[in-house]
Amino acid sequence: MVVGDFAIELDTVVIGSGPGGYVAAIRAAQMGQKVTIVEKGNIGGVCLNVGCIPSKALISAGHHYQDAMHSETFGVTAENVVLDFAKTQEWKDNKVVKTLTKGVEGLLKKNKVEILRGEAYFNDEHTMRVMGETAAQTYSFNNAIIATGSRPIEIKGFKFGKRVIDSTGGLALSEVPKKLVVVGGGYIGSELAGAYANLGAEVTILEGSPSIMPTFEKDMIKFVTNNFAKKGVTIETSAMAKEAVETEDGVTVKYEVNGTEKSIDADYVMVTVGRRPNTDELGLEQAGVELNDRGLVTVDEQGRTSVKNIFAIGDIVPGAALAHKASYEAKVAAEAISGKKVAVDYKAMPAVAFTDPELAVVGLTLAEAKEKGLDVKASKFPLAGNGRALSLNATEGFVRLVTTKEDGVLVGAQIAGVSASDVIAEIGLAIEAGMVAEDIALTIHAHPSLAETVMDASELALGLPIHM
């Protein structure tokens, strides 16, 4: 190998080290490939550094703060509860984020994955240029997996700056705002709105559609909106954000609701209206990789693009922008390169919102199942009938199973309530395995546990409920 004007030869190269990229690199290495990963930023990508993980850390901190102030129900009263937000941020950054990112870097090295720092740009289907801070180098490769993720969308009138911030900026604030406006009430906006409301901020959500979190069902969203109301969070739906005007110590947000112009003053406005795939500065056209009209990479069931030796996964391909989806697709792509007979199957893809309470779904809703021509029914068990939920003083919510009427096959589930993000896993496994309601009903669940709600819902589906 010669460094300079000649290309250095690589086997499999992975661009991006987020939950898609690093998983693809490790699995490819496990399959016997010699792997190189290219990363222009921090190992771990958006999810570990400025997304999934730090946001859940702030959400957790907010819960602890609220518990410290409001645990009278349990006979626990604390005086002079103080939030040291600088310490909160230090814990989030150093104990949570850095621990994970260092761990991922260690896993890459353990699996003998070479790490190249810089930006990758395709010259053609078998060569790319990696541009570092001080030098650039051309590489040839046999196979490539693109896992470059996405970035926040900036909307007209809301240019990101000191007081107009995206979700990354929202996670890095040095203070809890007295007043915070969140533009966009999807799961990211609602999660961070809830986190800062719990930490003491006065929060207003501006959502363009008739409801926040419109991808979830109405009876699930109701629990979240009720919780927001208790915390004094203002929700303006069907609201069109017009402009943000920064001042020396704040920002004025102008918006319109049903033809009426309104404005609100705040310390910060956080824009969370969606994310854009990072496909525009990779030289994909030079490699012949096809994109759709949304800038997403067109792929087959193995993640293979229009160029047979180049694969794409995660936020840059069609489908939900979920970290676990990227990790799942990563394994499929890496194994496909090794000649394994693999293909993606999204029938049991969970989605979770870490709101108060948590919302989690997997598989089909009742309406979606009927649209597919399935003869189904829904069985809904309330958390109020669960002993563990009662002992946690967290009885709001339910578990709903969607099963076929004829044979009770599980095709979907929706959960609203405490630890929904964990409880949904059992149902995902059941759907993936093609189980019926009786399989879950006959599975002994520990008592008292929140998981018993799944058993109770399955018994309800069989027409033999014990606790209803």
* Active-site annotation, residues: 447
Question: Which tokens is 247 given?
Answer: 């001042």
Q: Which of 261, 245, 283, 58 is nearest to 158 (CA)?
A: 245
Q: How many CA atoms are closer than 13 Å to the CA of 295, on its beta-carbon side?
A: 14
Q: What Cα–Cα distance (Å) separates residue 174 from each residue in 87, 102, 170, 268?
A: 10, 24, 10, 12
* Residue whose token pair is 């319109």: 256
* Cβ proximity of 23 and 136 under 8 Å: no
| Strand order, beta sheet including 260-266 | 239-246, 251-257, 260-266
Q: Tokens at residue 441, please? A: 């009903």
User: DSSP code of 97?
Assistant: I
Q: How far apart are the first and last CA of the chain?
A: 71
Q: What is the dihedral of CA 361, 363, 365, 371, to 10 degrees?
A: 160
From the number of C-beta atoms within 10 Å of its C-beta (0-12, 13-18, 19+), residue 229 rates as exposed
Instruction: Read off the amino acid at residue 218.
Output: K
Within 8 A by CB and 6+ apart from 41, the residues are 49
Per-residue b or e along 418-452, where b marks 16 or more CB atoms closer than 10 Å to that residue's CB: bbbbebbebbbebbeeebbbeebbeeebeeebbbb
303: its two tokens: 């993640």
Instruction: Compute the radius of gyration of the chain from its Cα atoms.
Output: 24
Strands (E), 207-305: 234-236, 239-246, 251-257, 260-266, 268-271, 275-277
